[in-house]
Every structure is written in C-alpha cells, then in structure tokens.
Amino acid sequence: MTTNDRSHAFHGVVIHATSLSSLAILDNALLIVTPTGQIASLEADIPADQVPSKLNSLDSASCPITYLTRGQFLMPGFVDTHHHAPQWLHRGQGQGLHILEWLDQVAFPNEARFEDASHAKRVYGHVVDGMLRQGVTTASYYGSKHGEATKILADTCLARGQRALVGKCNMSRNAPDYYRDADERESLQVTLDCINHIRRIDPKGELVRHVLTPRFAICCEPSLLAGLGDLARQYPDMAIQTHFNESEQEKKATLALFPDFTNEADLYQHFGLLNDRSILAHCTIMTDYETQRLADLKCGVAHCPTANMTIGGGFMAAPVKAFLRSGIKVGLGTDSGGGYSSSMLNAMQHSLVASFARDYLEARDGTAAVSFEEVFHMATLGGAQVVGFGGEVGNFECGKEFDALVVDVRGEVGGVNAPLEEDDSVRTMLEKFVMTGDDRNIRFVYVRGRKVHGV
C-alpha cells in the first residue's frame, strides 16, 4: 500500500438514505473503499467470520478492516448547506434582535475583523476543525467581504480535507462604511480573484469550489446583482447562494428597495440568480407562487431551523413539508452566528420541532410535519444535492466517494446521549444518537476515504 492508498473495509451496521422517505439500515454489512476513496461495494448479511474470504474473492485481501461492535455504526457525513464561517466567534450573541439590527450590532462588526489575514487564518482553522469534529464533511460557506480572508478559508478547507463551497460575500450598500465593498466593480473584481484562486488550488473542484455569494438583495445594488448574474452565466457549473425570505423585516426592506417586484423569486430570477445551482437560505415566509417558482427553477433550499427560531423577530418555521411535496431539494444548515449552534444534530432536532409547531398552528393533521427519515435525508443526501455534490456523496451508492462517520453510542464513550440498552434495535440506536448525541459520539470522520478526524 502507498501513502495515498485509501482502501479500507468496514464490517458492521451501515445506515444511509436511499431516497427521501427510505432509510436503509444494514446489519452485518461489508463496505469496501477503493485506494482512491470511492465505494467499491456494499453488501449486507455477511457474518464476521466470512469477511476475510469475501475480501479475498473481491481482490481486496490486503485491505485493512475495521470491525464495528454493537453500539457503533457507519453513516454518511453531514452536509451543512448554509454556514457563515466568519461568525464562528460570535455564535449565540444578540439573541432576540431582529435580523437587520442583529447584522448592524453583532455580525458586521465581528465580520469586519477578517480584514486582518492573521485573524482569518487563526479563526478559520478553528472553524474547519470544529466542523469536522462534528461530522460535517461538506459545508457551503459564506466568507466575509474580504478577498484575502476568503482565499484563506478555501486554503484551510483543502489543507484539512473538508469538502466545501467557499464564497466571497458581495455587499456594496446598506452596511457600515468600514464593512462594505467600495462599489460593484470592486466587489466583482475581488470575486473573480477568489474564483481564480480556488480554481488554481483545486482545478477539478474535487474538494473545494467557489460559490457566488450575494449576501442578500438589501446589501447589493442592482448593478452588482446584474454583474453576479453575468458571472453565473459565464460559469455555468458554479453554485449560487443567498438569503431568501428570511424574515418579515428582511422581506419588507427588500421589496422597498426594489419596488418593481412584488416578491423575491421574481427579483432574483430577473438578475439571473435562480436556477438549479441556487442555494436559498431560510425561505421562511413563502407564498404559493414563490414555492412553485423555486420548484420550476429547480432551486435548492438551505433550511436553518435553529437560526429561524432564535434570530429574526419571531419563531419562524419554514414550510419544509410543502417544499418536499413540491419536489424542491432541501438540505439543513446551521447558519452559525444567526443561531447559536454549529451542530447538525441540533439542526436535525430543531427541524423536527419546528415542523411539529407548524403543523399544530396550521393543520393539526400531520401534513406539515417532517419525518425522521426526511430529516436524515436532508442532513446527508438531500444536502449534497442542494450544494451540487449529490453525484459524488450523500449516501453509500457504489461509485460515490467515501464521506462517512463512525458513530459510537456506547456508554464508555461518554457524552449525554441516552444509554444503549441490550434490547435496543439498530433503529433505536440511531434515534438515540440523532436526538440525544453530540460530537463525542463521532469517533472518526472520513472525506474521500481519508481520515480527517479521530485517532
């Protein structure tokens, strides 16, 4: 084996989403990873004593084997579809403020500090390490407005081995003088510089890709939105991310700035920023028309339930079930400073809670509530589809790249998860992890077959 050989075999419980409503729970499964980090095969019901002969028959006899014991299982890595990397240090601050006041009082002053490259290098190391520790193998990051800091974030993701979308935040108005682009020309030029840098360090976009990132229309002049739309056409494989119908205050301010439009869907589409590569964060206050437009345009939604319930001016429960029924791609996001937690487990838990609240307020018949299977899908395969990596990761289909977590809920691991009982089913074990576990239960993290966390 060479140092670049990532071949590995895992035997034990393997769990992954095969569709929005189907969760495959495989016992005595054998999963084999190729030397280049792809999934070669996945078979269930293979007794442990037959693993060596099975590997030999598949020409993988020299492959290292990890035998998972009861209380351990393998699952796909989490995909965080919306995360503000420069907000890492001020998570949880300013709770109860409406979104625009929170930006002025908390987010903008803290993000402005990333003009200092040494600050960016220090903090972004903590961000990526912290995300990997929590099982986030893929993240869609908003950077600050600063080009150099954005390049440092991309460099850090690549060096640490995290799969990521990284974007320079475009914002040329309605922000303090100390924290906004000089004009649309500078904003676009710095964006192009970041695009070129990321394509230089990862030419094929195997791990790190650039994402066009207008913060939201409030912070972008029409000419800047038009320029970003031109870039979206110039780079037809590049993702686009922005905030969309985040709160009542944000929505009213946006439409006041763009009086020719009556909704944000038509506004962003007009500037060429809505398509199958769009990642729209929040989407809490939606009309039927806008939901249909997102479905027609094949946009993706980054659902951030923790932030929706803590920042913005009220308990906002996005109509996630309506999105799913409409065929819209939905993934989960932690948001970062806008909430208080960077944990995808919290996002999963709060997605369930928020949907139950919406169902009680609107229907009381279960039609607005999401299922456990749907939440697991949104945290893994659904998120991968939203950020444009659905063909590469998200579950354990043969040929996909091995982005995975080894989860351990045994008592000796510690943590606060509900204890594992002798008669607990594998499904119960999974639910205990999702609903009561934390990062201490995530023992090892792999990206493209390479171990990026755990010893």
Instruction: Please write the tens of the pLDDT for every residue from 114-139.
Output: 999 999 999 999 999 999 999 999 99
Which residues 6+ apart lie within 8 Å of 385 measured at CB? 300, 329, 331, 394
Q: What pLDDT does residue 414 have?
A: 85
Say what the pLDDT of residue 455 is: 81
Count of alpha carbons within 13 Å of 26, Cβ hemisphere only? 23
- Any idea which of 20-34, 57-71, 376-390 has the lowest mean pLDDT? 57-71
On the CB side of 55, CA atoms within 13 Å amount to: 24
- Is the pLDDT confidence value at 140 over 80? yes
Q: Which band of pLDDT confidence, cut at 50, 70 and 90, is reported for residue 1? A: very low
The average pLDDT across 419-436 equals: 96
Specify the 3-state DSSP secondary structure of 234: helix
Percent of the chain with pLDDT over 90: 89
Of 24, 3, 151, the residue nearest 76 (C-alpha): 24
The encoded tokens of residue 209 equal 């890709």
Q: Which residues of 10-33 are buried (b: 16+ CB within 10 A; e: fewer)?
A: bbbbbbbbeebeebebbebbbbbb
pLDDT tens figures, 244-298? 999 899 999 999 999 999 999 999 999 999 999 999 999 999 999 999 999 999 9
Name the residue with tokens 């990321």. 198
- When the pLDDT of each residue in the chain is averaged and rounded to a whole number, the result is 95
* Termini Cα distance of the chain: 20
Q: What's the sign of the alpha-carbon dihedral 134, 138, 140, 144?
A: positive
For the chain, percent helix, then strand, then coil, each to nearest 5?
40, 20, 35
- Residue 317: the pLDDT is 87
- Token pair 């393997």 in the structure block, residue: 14
| pLDDT tens readout for residues 178-219 | 999 999 999 999 999 999 999 999 999 999 999 999 999 999
The per-residue pLDDT for 313 is: 64
255: tokens are 């439409």
Which residues are 9's β-sheet partners? 32, 65
- What is the DSSP code (8-state) at residue 396? -
Higher pLDDT, 240 or 60: 240
What is the predicted pLDDT for the residue at 41?
97
pLDDT (tens digit per residue) in 379-405: 999 999 999 999 999 999 999 999 999
Any idea what the Cα angle at residue 145 is, between residues 140 and 146, rounded to 5°? Answer: 105
Provide the 10 A C-beta neighbour count for residue 58.
15
Alpha-carbon gap, residue 108 to 93, rounded angstroms: 13
Question: In the chain, count of helices (H) and strands (E)?
Answer: 16, 17
CA-CA distance, 146 to 112, in Å (whole number)?
A: 8
Q: Which of 162, 164, 172, 159 is nearest to 143 (CA)?
A: 164
DSSP string for residues in 30-46: EEEE-TTSBEEEEE---
CB atoms near residue 101 (< 10 Å): 14
- Residue 90: both structure tokens together: 């001020």
Determine whether 425 is exposed, middle or buried from the number of CB atoms within 10 Å of its CB (0-12, 13-18, 19+). exposed
Backbone angles phi, psi at 393, to 5 degrees: -145, 180
Give the whole-angstrom CA distance, residue 29 versus residue 79.
24
Report which of 324, 326, 347 is spatially closest to residue 335, judged by C-alpha positions. 347
Query: C-alpha distances in angstroms, 5 versus 37, 158, 443, 450?
Result: 8, 18, 21, 9
Encoded tokens for 3: 């140092």
What are the chain's domains?
Answer: 8-76+396-454 (2.30.40.10), 78-387 (3.20.20.140)
**Cβ–Cβ < 8 Å for 170, 214:** yes
Both tokens assigned to 11: 């035997």
Q: How many CA atoms lie within 13 A of 46 on its CB side?
A: 21
